Amino acid sequence: MFRTKPIEQSIRDTEEPEYRLRRRLSAVDLAVFGVGVIVGTGIFVLTGQVARDTAGPAVALSFVAAGIVCALAALCYAEFAATVPVAGSAYTYSYATLGEFPAWIIGWDLMLELALGAAVVSVGWSGYFGSLLSSLGVPLPASIAGEDALINLPAMIVVLLLTAILVAGIKLSSRTTLVLVTVKVAVVLLVIVAGLFFIKGANYTPFIPPSEATPGVAGLGAPLIQVIFGVTPTAYGVAGIFSAAAIVFFAFIGFDIVATAAEETKNPQRDMPIGILGSLAICTALYVAVSLVVVGMQPYTQLSTSAPLADAFTAVGQPWLATVISIGAIAGLTTVVLIMMLGQSRVLFAMSRDNLLPRGLAAVHPRFGTPARVTVIIGVVVALLAGFIPLAALAELVNIGTLFAFIVVSAGVVILRRTRPDLPRAFRTPLVPLIPILSVLACLYLMLNLPVETWLRFVVWMLIGVALYFLYGRRHSRVGLEGTSEASPR
């Protein structure tokens, strides 16, 4: 169960002709992927929501705090991605450090972040798309669009179109992402520049409002930290800044997906750290700037929670910008869905190549150089989830799955430093073990702020994964069948 797969073997596996991915990505492509998956609805909705309810004008400091927490995990990902430039991200790293069973668990866990996340975001995409069409006088029937539809047709269509792009090649995927990221970043910059003309200094006072106790939540909806320690979140004040950081952290989710493309990067030792850390730095700067603008345009107590940016511009007599913001949100969500499915396909590709899933799924298309079979399967599953199943209640599973992966990767850096100190490292996480330990503690704190019901669903999902490992993965494992951790290609 805890047999490890040597890093050298993982790297040799990438050269097998039948399972070889094409190296076509640069540092710029990786940074674009990172910005593409991080900047979603969070920047258009979450900024105003947490400013009004939790942090006040100091919400910008909450984004800085959340960015620092993400940077801790990003430094750990950067070391692994540069040292082990193999598809699979946290799954591959876990196999090299913790063993096969933990690797399977983390691969199973990543489905919560990637496949379920793509389905949840595609439903949000459908909502923005329907809203934009309605504003243009072409409303969609309620039966085929929106969360309450019998079949969410726009969500299914966008997923299947993006699946076709992913199958057609990594370079086409990166070019599509570049176009859409350019559109949404342009919209964000327009919002920042236009908003500067409507800022009132009085709206920043007080910058940190006086602290207020928030009512405790009862039942399964209560945060786990409240149930265990009796600690309830605080609104406003210094404590409110950090409570808000726990919320806005989830606007940063996605930078880890960049690591799944390591095997398709021309110079991963140099480019992976640039892509991971660069995209995180860009997005942090955008989030801070937008949050400062929105709280400067309107008193924080008057911000809306559904569409704070659009409503802020409507309040100052610029409703046309609401339509522009919707276009930016659609472009933003499209890239999020695309890159989440890209990441999921690479994780399952790596698991299949190791025989923990049927090996035939790992076959690379001879023309396009992509894992076409597993990509199509993921596309169909995500489309069905988005089209027919209400996903709102499951959205927080995406968060807990991501945080769990961050903890495993951070711990893995310390373990690999001890077990393989001789391994060449093009990028080294600074201040080990301090940085990884801080990353683990910060992520664990954020997990404890999630509701009890989310933890229960997470445990059930993990138990299903454990059953599948013993029913299939353990008996078919490539490393296990070779009878040695130094398995040779078959």
**Residue entry with tokens 């669009």:** 145
Domain around 225: 7-119+158-478
Residue 2: is its pLDDT beyond 50? yes
Report the pLDDT value the prediction gives residue 247, as an integer from 0 to 100: 81
What are the C-alpha distances in Å from 192 to residues 84, 105, 135, 323, 366? 39, 42, 23, 15, 45
Report the pLDDT value the prediction gives residue 485, as an integer from 0 to 100: 42
For residues 46 and 305, the answer to whether their CB atoms sit within 8 Å is: no
Residue 333 falls inside a structural domain? yes
Average pLDDT, the chain: 87
Residue 143 falls inside a structural domain? no
Residue 290 falls inside a structural domain? yes
State pLDDT tens for residues 25-48. 899 999 999 999 888 767 777 788
Q: What CATH number does the domain containing 283 carry?
A: 1.20.1740.10
What count of Cα atoms within 13 Å lies in the side-chain half-sphere of residue 366? 0
State pLDDT tens for residues 353-397. 999 999 888 889 888 889 999 999 999 999 999 888 876 667 778
Residue 220 falls inside a structural domain? yes
Mean pLDDT for the stretch of residues 257-265: 87
354: enclosing H helix or E strand: none
CB contact set of 164 (below 8 Å; sequence gap of 6+):
none
Q: pLDDT confidence of 451, banded at 50, 70, 90?
A: confident
- Cα gap 302→306, rounded to integer Å: 12
Give the percent of the chain with pLDDT over 90. 42
Report the pLDDT value the prediction gives residue 189, as an integer from 0 to 100: 93
Residue 127 falls inside a structural domain? no
Residue 449 falls inside a structural domain? yes
Report the pLDDT value the prediction gives residue 284, as an integer from 0 to 100: 93
Number of domains within the chain: 1
Q: Which two tokens stand for residue 449?
A: 């702020």
Residue 300: is its pLDDT beyond 50? yes
Residue 428 falls inside a structural domain? yes
In this structure, are strands 234-235 and 212-213 parallel, antiparallel, or unpaired?
A: antiparallel
Residue 315 falls inside a structural domain? yes
- Cα gap 285→295, rounded to integer Å: 16
